[in-house]
Amino acid sequence: MKTIDRRAYAEMYGPTTGDRVRLGDTDLVIEVERDHTVYGEEVKFGGGKVIRDGMGQSQRTGDTVADTVITNALIVDVAGIIKADIAIKNGRISGIGKAGNPDVQPGVDIVIGPGTEII
């Protein structure tokens, strides 16, 4: 299995479990406690990236897919410091977890469809 060093991974997909992040221009530093990413199955939007038909995007429609997905977000919450994807449906957060295409990717609990906007 191929691997990349932590710095290169963080530059492409953001911090992961155990990485420390400085908050803005403060002296506050947080550490990522959990990462919902399945390594090697990260979703990323852009030319030649995986959010496209048959890869990170499914052909599902309707209530089972998110309207908008914020990918690789760092969430600071009372539940902990988590890196995950955030699903938005009908203007509200509908899920926090791993986004993608459950037909071809493992561990997906937020479905990206053809009409899903990616941030």
58 burial type by CB count under 10 A (0-12 exposed, 13-18 middle, 19+ buried): buried
pTM for the predicted model, two decimal places? 0.85
- Closest-CA residue to 99 (of 79, 77, 116): 116
The pLDDT averaged over each successive group of 10 residues in the chain (119 residues) is 82 90 94 88 66 76 92 93 96 95 91 92
* Alpha carbon of residue 64 to chain centroid: 17
Largest CA distance in the chain: 45
Q: Quote the tokens at residue 101.
A: 């295409």
Give the Cβ contact number of residue 79 at 10 Å. Answer: 10
pLDDT for the residue 99? 93
Per-residue pLDDT at 42: 73
Handedness of CA 21, 101, 96, 61 (dihedral sign): positive
Q: Which of 22, 17, 19 is nearest to 33 (CA)?
A: 17
Place of tokens 């990206």: 112
Residues 6+ apart with CB under 8 A from 17: 32, 33, 34, 35, 83
